[in-house]
Amino acid sequence: MSRRMIIMLIAAGIVLGGVFTYKAVGNYFMQSYFASRSEPPQTVAATKVGYQPWQDHLDAVGNVRASSGADLAFEVSGTVAAINFKSGDDVKAGTTLLSLNASDDIAKLHSLEAAADLANVTYQRSLKLFARKFVSQATLDTDRANLKSARAQVAQQRAVIEKKTLRAPFDGRLGIRAVDLGQYLNAGTPFVTLQALDPMFVDFFLPQQALDEIKVGQAVRAHVDTYPGQTFAGTIEAINSKVDADSRNVQVRASFPNPERKLLPGMYATVTIDVGKPKQLLTLPQTAISFNPYGDTVFVVENKGNDAQGKPQLIAKQTFVVTGAKRGDQVAILKGIKEGATIVTFGQVKLRNDTPVTIGDTVQVGSASSSPAQAQ
């Protein structure tokens, strides 16, 4: 081998040795660098999973209506002669509310009463004469018919006069008066509304599948946004005898005592009906669950053991769960986790599988503010 070849081989060995040395030193420093920059624990809030009382129920939105209600109007036309109520009055059945001018009708009644008295005198005279054979049967029959006709006209005229005085058809509260003294009212023009406010009805619809779970007399709760936090207790009054062919829903009516007159016709109410027996289910706050099209997940906090200083090394494990119904801010968990597991409730956005975590706050599930048994 020539001297030149030997020099070239030595040079190549030096170059290759330098490359390998560079890679080894580089790998050493890279490992040292990343080791010094290991991922710090993420601070999260967590909760312990536990069993809570759970009551299935049906929810619906319904319309509040009075047990009896009517927009009052006259059957006949006339001029308002007397107003005997004030807007918002509570009235009893039979109370006179409004009267129309009936002077002409009263005068006509007196005339018809006089004619009826004369017809009665004529009939009584004919009756005596017929007994003595002084008048024929035909005359007696005519006088009897005339008397009946006169009395019928009197009754008819009294009915006309009666229609010009309007009385409350039932106990209730009047609305705002829409008529003034001396005003001419056409027949059928409403002048005030009357509503019976205790009890009140709420009409709502449920799917036909719910028919097997409800019955007359079953307890019902209602809420209206006018009174946040207040619950109105009632019972199912009636269930419609047919299911709507278009929506496949059935109409249900519930009755609610309303002694304070807080419920008014026309309000809408959220109705809740408890069905089935109470049971115990694992629950979590909705904030602990990531709802995804491919499945719902939670982060379970696990302990990998203690470090050199004796502190627990916690990591977050992403786990799929099967969720059930919701109650307020709580969700029932049917599968995926066990009682006593620690679940991240806040801070999931910064987590991935096996991320080190530190628990900064622990929420107790089932507190008064979030208990599914109390949530409405």
The distance between the two most distant Cα atoms of the chain, rounded to a whole number of Å, is: 180
CA distance 66 to 170: 12
Closest of 118, 74, 66 to residue 98, by C-alpha:
74
Tell me what pLDDT residue 367 has.
Answer: 37
Mean pLDDT, rounded, for 194-204: 91
Tell me what pLDDT residue 36 has.
Answer: 38
Listed in sequence order, the residues at least 6 apart from 282 whose beta carbon sits closer than 8 Å to its beta carbon are 49, 50, 51, 52, 332, 333, 337, 338, 339
Mean pLDDT, rounded, for 197-203: 91
In the chain, what are the domain boundaries?
42-54+278-364, 59-67+196-274, 76-185
Q: What are phi and psi of 171, to 5 degrees?
A: -65, 140
Closest of 190, 179, 160, 159 to residue 85, by C-alpha:
179
Question: Which is more confidently placed, 45 or 73?
Answer: 73
CA distance 343 to 30: 35
Neighbours of 84 (CB within 10 A): 14
Mean pLDDT, rounded, for 27-52: 64
CA distance 226 to 228: 6
Least confident of 98-112, 123-137, 356-370: 356-370
- Given CA atoms 357, 362, 363, 364 in this order, what sign does their dihedral have? positive
Are β-strands 96-100 and 42-48 bridged in parallel, bridged antiparallel, or unpaired? unpaired
Tell me what pLDDT residue 64 has.
Answer: 93
Are β-strands 330-335 and 312-327 bridged in parallel, bridged antiparallel, or unpaired? antiparallel
Q: Give this prediction's pTM.
A: 0.62
Report residue 39's pLDDT band, with 50, 70 and 90 as the boundaries: low
pLDDT above 90 (res 282): no
At residue 293, what is the residue type?
P
pLDDT 10s digits, 58-111:
888 999 999 888 999 998 899 998 999 889 889 999 899 999 998 888 899 999
Question: Which is more confidently placed, 50 or 62?
Answer: 62
pLDDT above 70 (res 224): yes
Mean pLDDT, rounded, for 128-156: 89
Is residue 222 within 8 A of residue 232, CB to CB? The reply is: yes
- DSSP state at residue 179: -
Closest of 49, 53, 39 to residue 345, by C-alpha:
49
Residue 330 CA to its chain's centroid (Å): 20
Least confident of 3-12, 99-108, 186-195: 3-12
Q: How far is CA 273 from CA 191, 203, 248, in A?
A: 39, 13, 19
Name which CATH class applies to 42-54+278-364: mainly beta
Q: What are phi and psi of 139, to 5 degrees?
A: -65, -40
CA distance 355 to 347: 12
Share the mean pLDDT of the chain: 82
Is residue 70 within 8 A of residue 174, CB to CB? The reply is: no
Helix (H) or strand (E) holding 172: strand 172-174
pLDDT 10s digits, 229-270:
899 999 999 999 999 989 999 999 999 999 988 999 999 999
Tell me what pLDDT residue 50 has.
Answer: 81
CA distance 179 to 190: 9
Q: How far is CA 12 from CA 3, 6, 18, 19, 21, in A?
A: 15, 10, 10, 11, 14
Omega prior to 207 cis, within 30 of 0: no
Name which CATH class applies to 59-67+196-274: mainly beta
At residue 321, what is the residue type?
V
Element counts in the chain: helices (H) and strands (E): 3, 20
Is residue 126 within 8 A of residue 135, CB to CB? The reply is: yes
pLDDT 10s digits, 295-353:
888 888 888 877 666 677 788 888 888 888 777 788 888 888 888 888 888 877 778 88
At residue 47, what is the residue type?
T
